[in-house]
A and B are shown apart, each in its own frame.
Chain A
Amino acid sequence: MGVISNGTTLLDAGALDSGVATGKMTLISTITADNSASTITFASNIDSTYDEYQFHCSNIHMSTNDSYLLVNFRDGGTAYDAVKTTTFFKSENNPSDNQGAFSYPTGDDLVQSTAVQRVSVPIGHDNDECSGGILHMYAPIANTKVTHFHSTFATQDMSDFCVNVQVAGYCNTTAAITGVQFSASSGNFQNGVIKMYGIGG
């Protein structure tokens, strides 16, 4: 059954008509960690449909202490190894409120590297410790431009510090970015949910 209003088809064949306004933020897929893998991979549905893709990460908790949340991008083939240049800075404070500071740790950025990019500090492993944040990636289609991304993550680390990590960078390729992979620097994703959204389109 379809629904037609004043001559305009609103829905038919089990789907809303593409002309129906539904908002400009669309949930594409959700992956929930179950401690079975050290990676969470979005290998499909990244194309020219949307202008921007966002990855919303909640309650990221690894199976080992002191494990970083990492990200990498696929720009052809099957490997997640796009060449990247990035910046990384952070602010932190401890529960005693006497070690507030910010810094640019040069060991956490990348220069023309295929390696994984850190988007958090080492996450604490106490039962209640975790990390949450958002990664934005813009226009991953093949064109004449590199593909930009940036992220913000809030983390409780292994020393109970609150740490705000800001990362920005670009995949130095004009090829399409067709996949995004998050990984743990050690252990598995014990808990957490990552949702991929499309923006615009």
Chain B
Amino acid sequence: MGLISNGTTIFDAGAMSAGFGGSLTLIKKLTADGSTAGLSFVHGSANVVFNSTFKQYMFTFNNLHPSSNENKLVMQTTIDGTNFNVATTTTFMVAYNRTSGGSHALEYDTSKDVGNSTSFYSISEAAGSDNDQSVCGFMHFFNPADTTFVKNFWLRTSTDHHGDFHMINLVSGYVNTTSAITGVQFKYENNNMDAGDICLYGIG
């Protein structure tokens, strides 16, 4: 049943019409519990939407805690829903300051960027696994379903480094494919993701 007011359709087929409501739609929240290596958002799986429904998607990273020390948060994408191995080039900037003072800088980290790599790539510096340490941040991913262009993304993460530094990481990249990207996987480089959640939003 639909709802029409003064000739304008407000609701129909179980959804609010375009132009009503907000433009930021929470699609899926996944919570880490230490039982798996990472968190995967794959279109069509567990009610995840990651296709042409939205021109842009946003992921938020909330207190992602590694189960082992000195651990980088990494990601990869998939075009088939199973294999996370799409060639990607990234840049990686970091600004840091040591909790005890005396060491701070803005740098380009050549050990964290990648060139046309099909491996998982870093989106944070190496986090600590103390109980109060984690990684937070967000990522914008543009038009993953497009079949003409490469796929641009950029992100910021705030990291509690294992050496008791605070670090902000500015990362951007492009997934070098004209195939539709159907999923993204986030994990820690070593061992499981102990706690924290990642939310996927559609922006439309």
Contacts and interface: CB of A to CB of B under 8 A. Distances in A.
B21 A23 contact: yes
A152 interface: yes
B152 A93 contact: no
Contact of A101 (B108, B142, B148): B108
Contacts of B24: 23-25
Nearest to B18: A27
Interface in A71-101: 91-98, 100-101
Nearest to B203: A56
Place the interface of chain B in its size category. Answer: 35 or more
Given A58-B143, A91-B92, A132-B143, A100 B110 contact: yes
Interface stretch (A33-41, A106-114, A158-166): A158-166
A95 B89 contact: yes
A144 interface: no
A59 B143 contact: yes
A156 B174 contact: yes
A14 B204 CA distance: 21
Contacts, number: 153
Contacts of B106: 102
B21 A95 contact: no
A163 B106 CA distance: 17
Mostly, the A contact residues are strand
Contacts of B170: 91, 164, 166
B125 interface: no
Given A26-B22, A131-B152, A97 B108 contact: no
Given A100-B91, A100-B92, A154 B116 contact: no
Interface string A1-15: 111000000011111
A61 interface: yes
B90 interface: yes
Interface stretch (A62-70, A135-143, A173-181, A190-198): A190-198
Nearest to B4: A1
A134 interface: yes
Q: Which 4 A-B pairs rank lowest in CB-CB distance, beginning with the nearest?
A: A23-B22, A97-B115, A14-B8, A164-B172
Interface of A: 1-3, 11-16, 22-27, 56, 58-59, 61, 91-98, 100-102, 127-134, 152-156, 160-164, 166, 191, 193, 195, 197
Interface of B: 3-8, 10, 19-24, 55-56, 89-93, 106-110, 113-117, 140, 142-143, 146, 148-150, 152-154, 170-174, 176, 178, 203-204
Given A11-B10, A128-B178, 20 more contacts: A14-B5, A14-B10, A15-B5, A15-B8, A26-B23, A94-B89, A100-B92, A100-B113, A128-B150, A130-B149, A131-B152, A134-B140, A152-B172, A154-B173, A154-B174, A162-B89, A162-B172, A164-B154, A164-B172, A197-B203
